Amino acid sequence: MDLLNRVKDAGVIGAGGAGFPTHAKLAAKAEYILLNGAECEPLLRVDQQLMAEFSEEIIKGLEAAGQYIEARKAVIGIKGKHKAIVKLLREKITALGLEDYMEVMELRDIYPAGDEQVLVYELTKRVVPEASIPLKVGCVVINSETALNIFNALSGKPVTETYLTLAGDIPNRLTVKVPVGMPIRELLRQCGLENGDDYAVIDGGPMMGSLLDGIDGYVTKKSKGFILLKKDHFLIRKKSVNINQGRVISKTACEQCRMCTDLCPRYLLGHDMQPHKVMRALSYDLKDLKELQIAQLCCECNACELFSCPANLHPKTVNIFYKQKLAEQGIRYQPTQVEFQPRSAREYRLIPSKRLVAKIGLTLFDKPAPLTTIQFKPEYLEIGLRQHIGAPSQPIVNLGQHVEAGQMIGKIPENSLGAPVHASMAGTVVEIKDNSIVVKVG
């Protein structure tokens, strides 16, 4: 079986957040394969520790994927502040005889260094065109944990676990390997947090993660971390605002200072993403579709909403509002040019991570979250059928059936983009829901 089919069978998806099926990403030829090890979300500590702990496996996974897509060069992007890991990776690359093929490049400590398009520019000086993907400029980007999962897939090991950081206003911050499907409530309890309900929980990083409704959900292959904060923390108040509220608040108070635009990472790459124009269209109820369509260029990094706007408004939320409206009408942004150059002011307008952490009230919690081994013992696992971009997996097990750890329980529907799902522990299928399969462990 070739690499693509092994990766497909193992259910590997982008572990960096979006969950795009990796076999679909690798079904192309590209000049560069880039490893996204930027981990620019404050407080998350997964990628940096995986690159230290599993450097050889990650390098081999990246190399195998790079050779498969016939990339002439593989580049690992990691923040230069992780000096020891940078050194370790370079030593391993040399020890494996890969120094002519692979290099480590040090990224600046800025937000969002891990945005795929920012990363491509920082590592190759190529700008991904508006509304396009890195492949357009000869690059395929995979995340560090994805490279590790590719390595595992080559020896037949499916994705049944994910690494995530528990951080925020809690006594013990830590990073752990968790079985996919683990109930979040149990995860918190087995990590020593009996009072999980007392916190507001962000699923993912503090910038792009969304506020959970409660802790009754379960871990997916995409889970990267849970940030626990007091319910009156600035970030929680801000993330509690829904699209309609954000729209109404923004409509009344935008002063058109254009700070949101001037610091927008996509605008700085030369794209036409100008959130202040979208805000203007909202405030004055403008119907100019061109002004509204630029909302589709937003990567939802949240920099404008949580860092740039002096009036504490919601430009990203307004972008999402218009994105939804445009999608309903079937309108897609059409770029007006093919090649893009970063704006000349970009170098002076990058957002330093330390400033960002201070601005969003996380300096006190910006601490290590060491990789810790915990033998999780959930009673039940709820394994999502839609953990990825594309069609949900189709159950291939029956009620009452015993499943082994690593057994495929949901397959990709015929002729669809998707990823299979596997049981992360042995047990019995006790419920098959629309979006998940529940396994009683044991």
- For residue 272, give both structure tokens: 């036409």
3-class DSSP state of 179: strand
Q: How many residues bind ligand SF4 (CB under 6 A)?
A: 28
Q: Tell me how far CA of residue 410 lies from CA of 51, 402, 437, in angstroms.
A: 30, 14, 9
d(CA 407, CA 283): 54
Q: Could you tell me the smallest distance in angstroms from the CB atom of residue 171 to ligand SF4?
A: 32
Q: Which of 80, 76, 83, 32 is nearest to 56 (CA)?
A: 76
Binding to ligand SF4, residues 311-350 (CB under 6 A): 311, 313, 315-316, 319
Strands 73-79 and 32-37: parallel
Question: How many residues are recorded in the chain?
Answer: 442
Closest to ligand SF4 by CB, 55 vs 308, is 308
- For residue 380, give both structure tokens: 């039940």
Q: Which of 37, 100, 101 is nearest to 64 (CA)?
A: 101
Interacting span for ligand SF4 (CB under 6 A) from 40-48, 66-74, 233-241, 306-314? 306-314
Site string for ligand SF4, 225-254 (x = CB under 6 A): -----------------------------x
Closest to ligand SF4 by CB, 260 vs 383, is 260
Q: Tell me: does residue 302 bind ligand SF4 (CB under 6 A).
A: yes
Residue selected from 127, 301, 439, 441 as contacting ligand SF4 according to rule CB under 6 A:
301
Q: Could you tell me the smallest distance in angstroms from the CB atom of residue 316 to ligand SF4?
A: 4
Residue selected from 299, 425, 429, 438 as contacting ligand SF4 according to rule CB under 6 A:
299
Q: How many CA atoms lie within 13 A of 276 on its CB side?
A: 16
Q: Could you tell me the smallest distance in angstroms from the CB atom of residue 429 to ligand SF4?
A: 41
CB 403 within 8 A of CB 409: yes
Geometric angle at alpha carbon 77, from 72 and 83, rounded to 5° = 130
Site string for ligand SF4, 81-120 (x = CB under 6 A): ----------------------------------------
Site string for ligand SF4, 118-137 (x = CB under 6 A): --------------------
Q: Could you tell me the smallest distance in angstroms from the CB atom of residue 277 to ligand SF4?
A: 9
φ, ψ of residue 32 to 5 degrees: the values are -120, 145
Residue selected from 64, 309, 360, 409 as contacting ligand SF4 according to rule CB under 6 A:
309
Q: Which of 7, 8, 15 is nearest to 222 (CA)?
A: 15
Closest to ligand SF4 by CB, 246 vs 392, is 246
Q: What single string gives the DSSP state of each residue in 236-287?
A: HHHHT--HHHHHHHHHHH-----HHHHT-HHHHTT----HHHHHHHHHTT--
Residues contributing to the site for ligand SF4 (CB under 6 A): 254-260, 264-266, 273, 275-276, 279, 298-304, 308-309, 311, 313, 315-316, 319
